[in-house]
Amino acid sequence: MSEVPPSHPRYASLRTREKVVEGVERGITGLNGLIAQGRGEALDYLIGERTTAAAEEAERAAAAILLLAERPVLSVNGNAAALVPEEMVNLANKINAPLEVNIFYRTEERVKKIADLLRGLGAERVYGEEPDSLIPGLDHARAKAARGGIFDADVVFVPLEDGDRCEALVRMGKRVITVDLNPLSRTARTSTVTIADNVVRALPNLISLVDEMAGLEEAELRSIIEGYENRAVLRRSVEEMISHLADQFSALDE
């Protein structure tokens, strides 16, 4: 594995890429995870590799929903396991939620490796190795879910979910919070709250917000949720992308 010097101007982005490559080498991330990461990098470049104001608003709404949830579950796929495993466990423990391994190209070996990784980092409850129910409307391999986990959850936090599964969870009546750098993807448009931010920034932000907002009254949390409109926030995410591009475009003349 090559060592990127911290002085490199794109250190953070290159380290993130290396973590996904390491995930593949350790057998926790599928090969298609590399392609997903590449798409994410391109979109992150377009927003200037920073958390936009729109993403911050989505993160606040997500923190409020997680704090008020009765049965929240955090879903972990191969890319999240490579990029933010400690943060996923930390968030789960803070809101007393189980984690569920939920991967697109399921192999039992990979599910076990991710579950072991999460347990090794201090996760108390990890579902996914023995799914005992099916999410309606998906083909068998993708439909697998666990009772006590995603199947029974009222709120699912699922960074980097695929559009079909996201739709199926919403159809089951769940509130779905996703992290997806593409504000125009099906996942982004279907979710209750879409955080159009890099998962490596979104998770630390969410953890700080959960800490900060844990002391708020229930009514205040409810009003944050009621005032949140995902489509409007997605439109603003696209506008922020356009405006960043316009700035870069103008800078070509300097």
- CB of residue 159 to ligand ATP, shortest distance in Å: 7
d(CA 208, CA 205): 5
Nearer to ligand ATP, 133 or 182 (CB): 182
- Beta strands per DSSP E along 86-168: 99-101, 126-127, 133-134, 144-145, 155-159
Nearer to ligand ATP, 32 or 248 (CB): 32
d(CA 34, CA 8): 22
H helix or E strand, kind and range, residue 176: strand 175-179
Which position's Cβ is nearest ligand ATP? 40
DSSP 5: P
Nearer to ligand ATP, 20 or 64 (CB): 20
- CB of residue 179 to ligand ATP, shortest distance in Å: 5
- CB of residue 158 to ligand ATP, shortest distance in Å: 11
- CB of residue 96 to ligand ATP, shortest distance in Å: 25
- CB of residue 88 to ligand ATP, shortest distance in Å: 13
Nearer to ligand ATP, 93 or 182 (CB): 182
Nearer to ligand ATP, 137 or 163 (CB): 163
Residue where the block lists tokens 């405006």? 243
Q: Are the CB atoms for 106 and 76 separated by under 8 Å?
A: no
- CB of residue 239 to ligand ATP, shortest distance in Å: 18
Residue type for 137, please? G
Residues that bind ligand ATP (CB under 6 A): 36-37, 39-40, 43, 79, 83, 160, 162-163, 179-182, 185-187, 198-199
Nearer to ligand ATP, 184 or 216 (CB): 184
DSSP class per residue in 131-143: --EE-TTS-HHHH
Contacts of 96 (CB under 8 A, 6+ apart): none
Helices 53-68 and 230-251 pack at an angle, to 10 degrees, of 150
d(CA 188, CA 182): 7
